[in-house]
């Protein structure tokens, strides 16, 4: 089964959002155009409580993008974003979700961040996505969304470890840091991930 996994296409990651990804809004129409090519479509949402440990506002004297260590895990501190129940946490209003069979939410535990759609950053808790995809019979997993260098990348890493044949749809994704993303794409290729354009699906 050919599955599309749409990562975190949420208002707070749009150019006017709390944690803007450059050109994040440009991918919405591309994602809408390709959905009919898949047997299964799934989306994810960052879904943080207000007191989430990754928010700089919850650490006295800290600023967004500071790097600290929490429980032995390196943590970037972020602006408050995708807070549960807020408009910023909603999927982009123009994203077609009619074909989405389900939406997996992540980052719900206030004590640990969760970039990947599969596990939190300490690999302590599963979202259940891997089991869901395997039960559905997914053989090819196509991944896109925001941000390409963070949540998309970490999701791809875990998907490969779970044994899925992975494709990264480059023009249906945008990175927060384009410079670091060049190295990340090399890592993807080394993992056996196929980097493709939406036109080649």
Angstrom distance (rounded) from CA 141 to CA 135: 14
Q: Which residues are catalytic?
A: 8, 106, 151
């Amino acid at each position: 089964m050919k599955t599309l996994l749409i990562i975190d296409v949420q208002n707070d990651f749009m150019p006017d959002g709390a944690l803007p990804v450059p050109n994040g809004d440009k991918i919405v129409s591309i994602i809408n155009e390709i959905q009919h090519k898949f047997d299964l479509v799934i989306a994810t949402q960052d879904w943080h409580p207000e007191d989430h440990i990754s928010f700089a506002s919850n650490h006295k004297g800290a600023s967004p993008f500071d790097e600290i260590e929490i429980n032995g895990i390196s943590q970037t501190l972020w602006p408050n974003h995708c807070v549960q129940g807020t408009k910023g946490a909603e999927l982009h209003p123009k994203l077609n979700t009619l074909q989405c069979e389900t939406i997996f939410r992540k980052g719900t535990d206030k004590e640990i961040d969760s970039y990947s759609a599969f596990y939190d950053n300490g690999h302590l808790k599963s979202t259940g996505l891997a089991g869901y995809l395997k039960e559905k019979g997914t053989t090819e997993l196509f991944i896109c969304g925001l941000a390409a260098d963070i949540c998309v990348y970490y999701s791809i890493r875990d998907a490969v470890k779970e044994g899925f044949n992975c494709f990264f749809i480059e023009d249906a994704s945008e990175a927060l840091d384009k410079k670091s993303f060049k190295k990340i794409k090399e890592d993807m290729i080394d993992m056996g991930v196929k980097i493709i354009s939406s036109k080649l699906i």
